[in-house]
Amino acid sequence: MSTQLVNDDAEISPELAELAAAYGVATDYVDQAGAHVQVSRATIEAVLAALGVDTTGPEWIPVALRDRQLRDWRRLMPPVFVTRVGQARSTWVHVPHGTEASAWIRTHTGERIDLKQLDVWVEPRLVGGELIGEATFEVPAGLPIGWHTLHAVGDGTEESCPLAVAPDRLTPEEIIGDRQWGLMAQIYSLRSRNSWGTGDLGDVREIAAWSGRDLGAGFTLINPLHAAGPTAPMTPSPYLPVTRRYANPIYIAVLDIPEMDRLTEKRRRSIEKLAASFAGVNESSELLDRDSTWTAKRTALKWIFDAGRKNSREREYEQFCVEQGSGLLDYATWCVLIERYGMSTKEWPTKYLDAHSDEVAKFRRKNSADVEFHMWMQWILDEQLAAAQLASRDAGMAIGIIHDLAVGVHPQGADAWSQHSVLANGIGVGAPPDMYNQMGQDWSQPPWRPDALADAAFAPFSNMLRTILRHAGGLRIDHILGLFRMWWVPNGMPAYAGTFVRYDHDALLGILCLEAHLAGAVVIGEDLGTVEPWVQTALAERGILGTSILWFERADGNVLAPEHWRKEALASVTVHDLPPTAGYLRDEHVRIRAELDLLTRPLAIEQAESLSERQQWLDLLRQLGMLAWDVDTDSDEGLDQVLIALHKALASAPSRLLGVAIPDLIGDRRAQNQPGTDQEYPNWRVPLSDAHGNGVLLEEVQQCGPLQAAVIASVQPASG
């Protein structure tokens, strides 16, 4: 195994290495190619600084290390306790040495369970000049699954913390059965005749109902619906949201809102006229214009909001606001602030930079109607999400809508503002170099600080999951490796010069499994990239499905026959970070990277490698009898035959879930996203088109042409 240095100053002292390890900061790692990479001192120091650790001089390192070691000794009890059903674990209570302590649990049903103190000797520690002892209590195995409260008393002080009892593992097979297949859709790109220039939740409902009822699909996997800033220019990437907890109002199906019937005839005609103005746009192959869509929708939504609600509807809205609590209020306040002062907080009055200040509270009261408008839109979204999931289940789907969770949030977004204390400053998350992104990736998203997130009882994580899972049959987690470790890139450094930072994966997985269990949802982890082997094992043990992408399934330099793929996984031919299959077969992934100067190897080598990969698959497909030997794969007709054969190969895998990308049903070739780019490529702005680049409506997809019929037939279970 070779060793690489990311730069010349990679040597770090043993003391700094020990401090980094204490904070979960990697000083070296093994990359996707198996090479050992040593991280530079500059990177380590920058990452530690983002964690609030001073390493400006050697004399500060021992101080910082001792402070880390005593962190929990300064607490009476943990900020949160996460365990598994059926497992007995222990927790600590810190009190002055020699002082008695007691602990008990109040379950979610109100039952009190006193905890047994264990006869465990722990050497007391000197903390701030006082000797502190540790009492150990048993958390019993018989606790029911759910959220409870752990209480402790020591030295006259009583505290409590959340206690999460998670299922030992999720049981996706009980929901899925042996196998389900479903469509994968980038909703904004898939428009119907009723759309306003971009796809919306009415289209989601229609896709799910149609594919479940007419095609026998068991799920519909959609892109993240997370909110973008409600001002122009609206960020197109669904993977760079301002918050992951709440959805983008651009997805509201305006004409489906019940309060439309409260409008005056003049207002109703005005809204219908706005809707009609997008008729030609919906069929265009031009890049999506979210700003025009949002401008029109916001106008219509404000008119509907101003029309008021019936008393029964008002009570439902108020209940929603109560359930969402301060998180919804913070998000809505941020929306109004950026409408007044812009997305960049550098242009805001400094008095509004602290989300929890008195000045922000005054602003919220002064602008209460505008704040309520944004809260109301989230309620409408919640209703329409519920309607889409209900329609999917009524259509016979076993799972229904599978939502997608992005890795992080916009550095100037609502979460970055309201959850500032749990995010690392001066850091962007991303991915180390790999075969498809040879310079590494920096997604410019501030990561959660592992220590601060734990101090917050993981509430930002659990609240986000609970909101998304309210009306979901499943959740796909993009880059689920981030629950274990994240690639941190200090600002100003190239993406390849970052390092990994570890998280409390046991706690995060426990909370994820608990929330998914309570919601009755399956969980899919996108576990591709630089993966430590034990991570996939840990996910599988918790009943979290993995991800298999046909083009990435390889072994010993050769393509891996589908019969050897994982069973507990969502398998598909392509994914949103690659061109549709027809485009991939024509080297779109190579062409785009070459034109954007993203290759680190000569173009000829990339083309030769792509040709070799494609030829290996053609050979395998022919050997399996899925592709005739005489098919001219260079022709358009032959291309369709290869696309169909690849989906037959997909169906031959044992994978529990099979995903079919909607662009593959019509031979679309244009890539939706090129990782590692921002404005260089029109990411997330490409509408659904056919093989000739003509815009395609949802109604046309539903007509089920020959290519679509063959692809769907290949993944449908055999009848009888």
Task: List pLDDT tens digits, range 97-130.
Answer: 999 999 999 999 999 999 999 999 999 999 999 9
- Residues near 155 by beta carbon (within 8 Å), at least 6 away in sequence: 95, 96, 99, 101
Task: List pLDDT tens digits, range 294-349.
Answer: 999 999 999 999 999 999 999 999 999 999 999 999 999 999 999 999 999 989 99
CA triple 474-472-234, angle to 5 deg: 105
Residue-range domains of the chain with CATH: 3-69 (no CATH), 86-166 (2.60.40.10), 173-247+380-715 (3.20.20.80)
* Mean of per-residue pLDDT scores for the chain: 95
Task: List pLDDT tens digits, range 420-464.
Answer: 999 999 999 998 987 667 778 898 999 999 999 999 999 999 999
Residue range 161-171: average pLDDT?
98
pLDDT band at 675 (very low <50, low <70, confident <90, very high): confident
Query: 693: exposed, middle or buried (C-beta count within 10 Å: 0-12, 13-18, 19+)?
Result: exposed
Q: What is the 3-state secondary structure (H, E, C) of 302-323?
A: HHHHHCCCCHHHHHHHHHHHHH
pLDDT of residue 8: 46
CA dihedral 546, 551, 556, 562 (to 10 degrees): 60
Task: List pLDDT tens digits, range 211-225.
Answer: 999 999 999 999 999
345 three-state secondary structure: helix
Integer Cα distance of 250 and 235 in angstroms: 12
pLDDT of residue 719: 52
State the DSSP string of 557-606. Answer: TEEPPGGGS-SSEEEES--TTS--HHHHTTTHHHHHHHHTT--SS-HHHH
pLDDT of residue 717: 85
Task: List pLDDT tens digits, range 20-33.
Answer: 999 999 999 988 77
The answer, yes or no, to whether residue 609 has pLDDT greater than 60, is yes
The answer, yes or no, to whether residue 193 has pLDDT greater than 60, is yes
The answer, yes or no, to whether residue 720 has pLDDT greater than 50, is no
pLDDT of residue 9: 52
261 three-state secondary structure: helix
490 three-state secondary structure: strand
pLDDT band at 57 (very low <50, low <70, confident <90, very high): confident
Per the structure block, which two tokens stand in for 665?
Answer: 């049903």
Task: List pLDDT tens digits, range 381-411.
Answer: 999 999 999 999 999 999 999 999 999 999 9
Integer Cα distance of 209 and 206 in angstroms: 5
Please report, in angstroms and rounded to a whole number, the separation of the first and last CA atoms in the chain.
Answer: 53
Integer Cα distance of 248 and 385 in angstroms: 12
Q: What is the 3-state secondary structure (H, E, C) of 200-232?
A: CHHHHHHHHHHHHHHHCCCEEEECCCEECCCCC
pLDDT of residue 5: 44
pLDDT of residue 142: 92
| Strands 81-84 and 101-106, sheet pairing | unpaired
Whether this model's pTM surpasses 0.75: yes
pLDDT of residue 528: 86
- Residues near 492 by beta carbon (within 8 Å), at least 6 away in sequence: none
Residue range 703-717: average pLDDT?
94
Integer Cα distance of 492 and 716 in angstroms: 49
Integer Cα distance of 23 and 65 in angstroms: 9
Query: 645: exposed, middle or buried (C-beta count within 10 Å: 0-12, 13-18, 19+)?
Result: buried
- Tell me, what DSSP letter sits at residue 58? T
pLDDT of residue 599: 86
Q: At residue 94, what are phi and psi to the nearest 5 degrees?
A: -100, 125
Name the least confident of 253-262, 281-290, 429-438, 661-670: 429-438
Place of tokens 């929306």: 335
pLDDT of residue 458: 98
The 3-state DSSP composition of the chain as helix, strand, coil percent (nearest 5) reads 40, 20, 40
| Strands 219-222 and 180-185, sheet pairing | parallel
The answer, yes or no, to whether residue 268 has pLDDT greater than 70, is yes
Integer Cα distance of 325 and 107 in angstroms: 22
pLDDT band at 255 (very low <50, low <70, confident <90, very high): very high
- Residue pair 589/677 in contact by the 8 Å Cβ criterion: no
Instruction: Kindly give the interhelix angle for 368-394 and 201-215, rounded to the nearest 10 degrees.
Output: 10
pLDDT of residue 3: 43
The answer, yes or no, to whether residue 150 has pLDDT greater than 50, is yes
Integer Cα distance of 527 and 221 in angstroms: 17
